[in-house]
């Protein structure tokens, strides 16, 4: 039986163009970019070119690009690195950070670390029932000692998109660094620093068609950044360790391809998404759309199905050849209700019925058969009387 993979927010297939671009730096020009010989210099040239290419998409300088092992490391480096660097300039070495309760675990756990280990204060700005945060609420959270504001551009579970430019403007008016977690937004929304006004941005290659273990933190050179990894001083001293040249080349290639296709893909997939959502809501009485009905990623449709178990629905869907998920793939082994849905005001009981469908950028056919499979799967596990 063929499988239809609709869990692209968790990870995407590596694109053939990306593999082709990486191969020379895995086979022929595999040198250490810090080595002063022909093979090493070829690797260094490829790394510098990848850095320039990523910077061009982000409207940053090449020196602002730090290659990382993925979005989690990029978030950790941004939040801990910027906040700790700011605190070190204060006599008491303490400060304040702002985020929201719906962020990715890498953001929330980094903020928790700053509280537990470094004595930071933290404000988690509440969101509305659609997972949106307002500029007024963020403005009210800011303090004289606020070292950083970190907010996700698009939520990884429900697909809600924040008004990143407006949020950045509020924070920038107070001369506070603004970090944007754009891991899910990349390939669907603009990433331009000129348009969005961020000071730091996190990206993950495996959401774009690059391999897992590749990522980027873009951080403006004027922003002090305390490194998490110490050693040989690679990445301008901000992330020591021998660079993954092939991974950097693959990331740059995937990002350029996604950016070139972004407008067309977003418009095309949005139409398919809206038809799919409407069909599920029409045919499944217990279905409720989660996330903002308007401000949402083109590739995300997420629901709760009261009276079911989300995991049971997923098993039924997989029996019918459809692979999807109950939410984030990053809370390894957790059976707790989604913190995102609970923060939106959904009860823990209903939150555990969540199912998320996330689509590839190359999707070009209606998903009516998937909606029919959702109807059949929910009916198969629904509690009697629902």
The one-character DSSP state at 14 is: P
Share in percent of the chain as helix, strand, coil (round to 5): 45, 15, 40
The one-character DSSP state at 63 is: G
Q: How far, in Å, are 198, 269, 321 from residue 375 at the CA level?
A: 42, 21, 14
Which candidate in 59, 62, 121, 330 is catalytic? 330
How many beta carbons lie within 10 A of that of residue 173, not counting itself?
10
User: Containing H/E element for 337?
Assistant: none
CA angle 45, 49, 51 (to 5 degrees): 120
> CA nearest 262: which of 353, 360, 361?
361
Cα separation, 362 vs 149, whole angstroms: 34
Query: DSSP 3-state assignment of 246?
Result: helix
- Catalytic residue check, 330: yes
What sections of the chain are H helices per DSSP? Answer: 16-22, 24-27, 38-58, 71-87, 105-118, 135-141, 164-173, 193-196, 245-283, 310-319, 339-343, 348-351, 368-381
User: The tokens of 308 are what?
Assistant: 């079911």
Cα separation, 106 vs 93, whole angstroms: 23
Cα separation, 183 vs 72, whole angstroms: 9
26: phi then psi, degrees, rounded to nearest 5: -105, -15
> What per-residue string of b and e applies to 190-212 under the rule 16 or more CB within 10 Å gives b?
bbbbeebbbbbbbbbbbbbbbbe
> CA nearest 253: which of 61, 46, 77?
46
Q: List active site positions.
A: 330
């Amino acid at each position: 039986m063929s499988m239809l993979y609709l869990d692209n927010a968790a990870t995407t297939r590596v694109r053939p163009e990306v593999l082709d671009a990486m191969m020379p730096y895995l086979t022929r020009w595999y040198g250490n970019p810090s080595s002063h010989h022909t093979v090493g210099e070829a690797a260094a040239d490829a790394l510098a070119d990848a850095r320039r290419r990523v910077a061009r998409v982000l409207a940053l300088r090449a020196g602002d690009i730090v290659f990382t092992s993925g979005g989690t490391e990029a978030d950790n480096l941004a939040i801990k690195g910027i906040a700790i660097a700011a605190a070190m300039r204060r006599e008491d070495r303490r400060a304040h950070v702002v985020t929201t309760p719906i962020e990715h675990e890498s953001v929330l756990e980094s903020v928790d670390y700053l509280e537990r280990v470094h004595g930071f204060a933290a404000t988690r700005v509440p969101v509305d029932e659609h997972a949106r945060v307002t500029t007024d609420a963020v403005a009210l959270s800011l303090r004289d000692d606020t070292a950083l504001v970190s907010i996700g551009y698009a939520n990884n579970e429900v697909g809600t998109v924040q008004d990143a430019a407006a949020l950045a403007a509020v924070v920038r008016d107070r001369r506070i660094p603004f970090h944007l977690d754009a891991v899910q937004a990349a390939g669907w929304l603009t990433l331009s620093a000129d348009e969005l006004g961020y000071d730091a941005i996190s990206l993950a290659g495996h959401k774009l068609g690059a391999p897992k273990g590749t990522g980027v933190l873009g951080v403006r050179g004027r922003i002090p950044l305390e490194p998490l990894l110490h050693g040989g001083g690679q990445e301008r001293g901000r992330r020591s360790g021998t660079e993954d040249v092939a991974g950097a080349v693959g990331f740059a290639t995937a990002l350029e391809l996604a950016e070139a296709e972004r407008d067309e893909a977003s418009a095309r997939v949005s139409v398919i998404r809206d038809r799919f959502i409407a069909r599920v809501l029409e045919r499944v009485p217990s279905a409720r759309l989660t996330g903002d009905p308007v401000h949402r990623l083109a590739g995300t449709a997420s629901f709760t199905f009261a009276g079911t178990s989300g995991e049971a629905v997923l098993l039924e869907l997989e029996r019918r050849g459809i692979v999807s998920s109950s939410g984030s793939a990053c809370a390894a082994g957790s059976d707790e209700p989604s913190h995102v849905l609970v923060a939106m005001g959904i009860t823990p009981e209903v939150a555990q019925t969540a199912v998320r469908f996330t689509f590839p950028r190359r999707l070009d056919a209606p998903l009516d058969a998937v909606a029919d499979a959702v109807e059949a799967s929910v009916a198969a596990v629904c509690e009697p009387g629902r």
